[in-house]
Amino acid sequence: MSEFVKVLNDKVQEMDWPVIMPNDFKRLLQEGNNMAIIDVREPEGCCFSNNKLDNKHVYNIPFNSIVAEFPKYDFTSYDIIIMMCFAGPKGAVSASILRWMGNDNVYFLKGGVEEFSNL
């Protein structure tokens, strides 16, 4: 195991999971909160492809490139950043990594798009 992965694993174990529940996410959307939504699925499966969400503040940064690609965007104007995937795990890991990198306003959508679309 690389030193980076070991340190990351230790940090993740120390953290509470930065989760947002689907009902709370829906409320944030309805209230028009200042938030970015990052879909970590591959482009062909993300929210852009079928307009599930207003994509004005939706970004597609695939999970495998989140560490390299996230710093290329300016997310400083957002109060909240929500990470999402299809069912939740990749969103959770992405949110935890970004928090470990110093982004305290990052959360993941519990259950991902699958659970949210069932509301």
**Cα gap 24→20, rounded to integer Å:** 6
Domain count, the chain: 1
Best CA proximity match to 33, nearest among 101, 104, 115, 105: 105
pLDDT of residue 51: 53
The span from the CA of 7 to the CA of 3, in Å, is 6
Range of the domain at 29: 3-116
Give the helix/strand (H/E) hosting 39: strand 35-39
Instruction: Give the start-end residues of each E strand in the chain.
Output: 19-20, 35-39, 58-60, 80-84, 106-109
Q: Is the pLDDT of residue 96 over 70?
A: yes
Instruction: Pull the structure tokens for residue 77.
Output: 């104007």
- The per-residue pLDDT for range 8-39, each reduced to its tens digit, is 666 656 667 788 989 999 898 888 889 999 99
pLDDT at 113 over 80: yes
Closest CA to 84 of 94, 96, 74: 94
pLDDT of residue 117: 80
**CA distances for 62 relative to 26, 31, 43, 117, 118, angstroms:** 23, 27, 7, 20, 23
Task: Retrieve residue 49's tokens.
Answer: 């492809």
What is the pLDDT confidence band of residue 116, given thresholds at 50, 70 and 90? Answer: confident
Mean pLDDT value across residues 52-79: 88
CATH number at residue 84: 3.40.250.10
Asked if residue 95 has pLDDT above 70, the reply is: yes
- Quick one: what percent of the chain has pLDDT higher than 90? 48
Average pLDDT of span 36-54: 75
